[in-house]
Structure 1
Amino acid sequence: MKVNTRVKNRRDYDLRDWLERLETTKRLTTIKPKTRLKFELAGIANRLDGKQASYFPAPDGHDIPVVSGLISDRRWMAEALGLEETELVPAFQNAVSHPLPSIIVDDPPCQEVVHEDPDLTKLLPVPTHNEHDSGPYITAGLAITKNPLTGLQNVAIHRLQLSSSKELGVLLLPRHTLSFFEAVEHKGADLDIAIVIGTSPATLLASQAVVPIDFDELEIAGALGGAPLEVAKCIDSDIQVPAAAEIVIEGRILANTRAPEGPFGEFPQYYGERAENHVIRINKITHRNFPIFHTIVGGGLEHLLLGAIPRETTILTSLQRNFTCVQNVYLTMGGVCRYHLVIQVDNPKPGEAKNVLMAAFGAHYDIKQAIVVDKDVDIHNP
C-alpha cells in the first residue's frame, strides 16, 4: 500500500505523486540501469533538460534511484503546485504574506529506516556533475537549521561536497545559515543541521524564498500547497523536517573547522572557486522505504527556475509597493534567471519608468540589466 502523509486538502503534488504524473503524461524518461554516477548521469540529465525529467534506476549499482529535471519548465512548476502558469508569482506572494504553521506528526515516512553509523560514500548515490568538480556533490539538499537565539528555523540550499564517509564540505554564503553558525561558533559550539533530499516541488520552491531572518520557509511551503505542511522532529535535534521527505541527513556544522571545498560548476555555467570552507559531520541518516535521491544539474533549467520565481516575487512586491503602474516582472533565461529583468508597466506617469528602473536595481542585488515595457508586451516571450 502506498504511504502518503499529505494533508488531504493540499492541492499540490508530493514527490512520488509528481513522478507518477510525469510518467503518465510521458514527461519522464527512464534511463538504462547502472548509469555511471561520474559525469554520465549529469550529462544525460542535461541533454534532457527542459524536455524530459529523468529517472536513473540502480546508478552504478546503487539500490537508491536518482531523479533529475522534475520541474524544469514553468508550466510544470505551476502544475506541480496545482496552479496555472500565470498564478505562480501571485501565489508565491500570497504564501510569503500568509504562511501556514506546520503540523508535527509522529512516525514519519522519512524515518522508516535509520542508519546510526552511515557511510556517505556507500549509502547514497551522489553524482559528480562536471569535469572539474572536486568530487561528488549533493545539489538538491534542503539545509535546515535553527536560529540559536530564537529557536526559529531557516531552510536553504547549499552546495554540499562529499568529502569523506562522514563529512560534507559546504559553501555558506553570508546569509541566514552562516549567521546562525557564527552565533555559536565564537563559543566553540557546533550548529545542528538537517539536510533533506527528495521533497515536494512546493517545498523545494519555498526553500528559495527571499525573506527576512526567522521566517520558516516550510510554512511558506504549506501556504503554497494550500494546507499546513506535515513535519517531524529529527532524531538527534529539535529541527523539523518534511515528514514525507525521501532522505534526511542529520549532522553538525563543526566549529573552528575548515577544509578545501570546490571547485563546482555553478548556475552561470562557470565554476565556483576552491576555498577553505565549512565542514558538516554526519550523525545519522534516515530515509523512507525504497527512497529516491534527487539531484539538480548546476545551471540547468530546474536550477534556474527554482531561483527565478522567488526572486521575481521579491522584486515585484518591492516595486508594487512604490509604483502602482508595475504589473509584472520576468527574469530572462538569457540572464540565467538572475541578472536580466523585464518589467511590465501600465500607463506610467511621465518620468516614472525611469524611477521604476532605478528601484529595480535596489530590489535585488543580482540585477545587472533592466528593461521596462508597456502592458501589451508579453514579457515571457523571448
Structure 2
Amino acid sequence: MLREILQIFKELIVIKEPVKKELELTKYLLKYRDRPVLFENVDGWKVAGNIWSTRDRIARFLNTDRVKLLHLIAEAMEDPSPYKTVESASFMENSTRDFSLLELPVPKYYPKDGGPYFTSAMVIAKDENGFVNMSFHRMMVRDDKTAAIRLVPRHLYAMWKEKADKGEELDVRIVVGNPIHLLLAGATSTAYGVSELEIASKLSELSFGKPLEVLELNGIPVPVESEFVFEAKITPELVEEGPFVDITGTYDRVRKQPLVVFERLYHVDEPVFHALLPGGYEHFMLMGLPKEPQIYASVKRVVPKVHGVRLTEGGAMWLHAVVSITKQHEGDGKNAILAAFAGHPSLKHVVVVDEDINIYDDREIEWAIATRFQADRDLVIVPNARGSSLDPSAQKSLTAKWGIDATKPLDRKEEFERAKL
C-alpha cells in the first residue's frame, strides 16, 4: 500500500544507494524535510519517511483541501462509523516467529537516543468489554524480541494497568506502515469507548467512499492496509526507556516503562517500513492536525464565526496556534484566546486574526500583529497554567500562556483595511 501511495507523489525523492539505519537515514530526512523520501536499501529493506510532511499533501490524498481538512477530521471524530471485517489481508502472506527486531530497519535517529526506535507504530488492543483502542506509542528496541514502550496515562495505559495489577500481560497488535487516514485516527484524543479504528473508517468513507477494512488477527482487528504487523504482549515488567527526541526537537528524559515482548511478525511482499522522524514536519502534522478541530470547536462556542485554526510549524504544531474569526463584539478576540487554551491545554501561544488574514501565511500573520496589535491593550497573559510536558521551558508542566488579539477594532475597521486594486 505505501509503495503505491508514494508513487503518486511527484515530489518523491528516491535514494537508491545503501543507507545505514543508524543516524545516516536521519541526514536525508532532515535534508528533504517537506518531501517524501523512499530509501531502496536500508539493511536490505525499503524505508520511507516524510511521507505526510505537508498539510497540502495530506489534504490531496484525502480528496480535500487544506482549509476543509480540519472539518473532515472533525466530522470523523464526531461521528465515527463501523469498519468492515474481511477474511484476508496482504500482510498474511509472510508470517514468522523467527525474526529479530535488531535486523529490521528500525532507525536510531539521533546520537543520544537510548536505542533504535519504532516511531510510526500504532498499538491495537481490546478490553474485556470488546472496546478496541488504537494509539501511537514510541518503542525503544532492546534486543531481538523486546522493546520498552512509552505509555502516557490514557487508554492503552489503563488497559495495561488493569492487567499488570493482576500480574498479567496485555495482548496487543503492533502495526507499522499505514496510510494517513489511519495515522490521523490513531493520533486523535477521544473518550474511552470510542474506537480510533471507527474514526479511521469514517475518514475512509468521507475520502474514498468506502469503510476501513480489518482482519481479525487472533481476536484483535488489524487494518488490512498495514505493511508490518506484530503479535506482542505488554508485560507488567518495567525497564528504562529513553532518552528520545520528542516533537520540540529536544531530548525527553529516561523513565521506567513497560516491557513489550514481540512474538510473531507478519508483512506484505516487499514491505515499506515507515520511519517517522522525531521532531520532523511529519511528526508535527500527525500530532497537530487532530488537535485543530478541538480548538475550533472550543472557540466556536464563544465566537459564532470561526473561519479556521492552524497549529504552526514554528511552534512544532503543538505549542503555538493561529485562529481566524469574524468579530461581532469587542472582546471576541480575547474570548477566542481563552477558548483556544481550553480546547488544547498544551497550547502556549495563540494569535487571533480577522477573516481577511491568511492563517497559512506567516508573513500575513506577522503583518496583522504589526498593524493591529498593541501590547498594553491586546495582550492576554495567563500565568502558572498547566501546559505541555513537551515544553522544555515549562517547570513541572506549569507555563505562562499568552495570546495576541490582532483583530481590528469594530468602530475603526476602515482605518485598518489593506489597499486593494
RMSD between aligned residues: 1.3
**1:80 corresponds to 2:61:** yes
Give, in whole Å, the separation in 2 of the partners of 1:59 and 1:53.
16
* Number of the residue aligned with 1:56: 39
The Cα of 1:117 is off from its aligned counterpart by 3.5
* Number of the residue aligned with 1:38: 22
TM-score (norm 2): 0.82
Q: 2:123 aligns with which of 132, 143, 147?
A: 143
Q: 2:178 aligns with which of 199, 204, 207?
A: 199
Of 219-228 and 300-309, more deviation after overlay is shown by 219-228
**Aligned-partner SS, 1:156:** strand
Aligned length: 358
Give, in whole Å, the separation in 1 of the partners of 2:60 and 2:132.
28
Asked whether the equivalents of residues 302 and 335 of structure 2 are also in contact (C-alpha less than 8 Å), the reply is: no
Runs (5+) with no aligned partner, structure 2:
363-421
1:216-237 residue CA offsets vs partner (Å, 9 max, x unmatched): 11211121122210001124xx
**Aligned-partner SS, 1:306:** helix
1:38-87 residue CA offsets vs partner (Å, 9 max, x unmatched): 1001111121110x211111213x2x211101111111011111212221
Identical positions, percent: 31
* Number of the residue aligned with 1:168: 147
Mapping for residues 195-344 of structure 1, pairs under 5 Å:
195-226=174-205, 227-235=210-218, 238-255=219-236, 257-344=237-324
Structure with the bigger RCO (C-alpha within 8 Å, sep 6+) is 1
* Number of the residue aligned with 1:125: 105
**Aligned-partner SS, 1:65:** strand
Asked whether the equivalents of residues 210 and 314 of structure 1 are also in contact (C-alpha less than 8 Å), the reply is: no
**Aligned-partner SS, 1:196:** strand
Asked whether the equivalents of residues 15 and 201 of structure 1 are also in contact (C-alpha less than 8 Å), the reply is: no
The Cα of 1:319 is off from its aligned counterpart by 2.1
Give, in whole Å, the separation in 1 of the partners of 2:347 and 2:8.
35
Give, in whole Å, the separation in 2 of the partners of 1:160 and 1:195.
10
**Aligned-partner SS, 2:8:** helix
Asked whether the equivalents of residues 80 and 202 of structure 1 are also in contact (C-alpha less than 8 Å), the reply is: no
Give, in whole Å, the separation in 2 of the partners of 1:376 and 1:225.
33
Give, in whole Å, the separation in 2 of the partners of 1:144 and 1:322.
37
Asked whether the equivalents of residues 303 and 325 of structure 2 are also in contact (C-alpha less than 8 Å), the reply is: no
Of 183-192 and 343-352, more deviation after overlay is shown by 343-352
* Number of the residue aligned with 1:360: 340
Larger Rg: 2
Give the direction of change, closer, same or farther, for the CA distance of 1:332–1:182 in structure 2 (3 Å limit).
same
**Aligned-partner SS, 1:204:** helix
1:127-170 residue CA offsets vs partner (Å, 9 max, x unmatched): 1100100111111111111233x221111111111111110111
**1:95 corresponds to 2:76:** yes
**Aligned-partner SS, 1:285:** strand
**Aligned-partner SS, 1:319:** helix
Give, in whole Å, the separation in 1 of the partners of 2:48 and 2:65.
24
Asked whether the equivalents of residues 100 and 144 of structure 2 are also in contact (C-alpha less than 8 Å), the reply is: yes
Asked whether the equivalents of residues 297 and 343 of structure 2 are also in contact (C-alpha less than 8 Å), the reply is: no
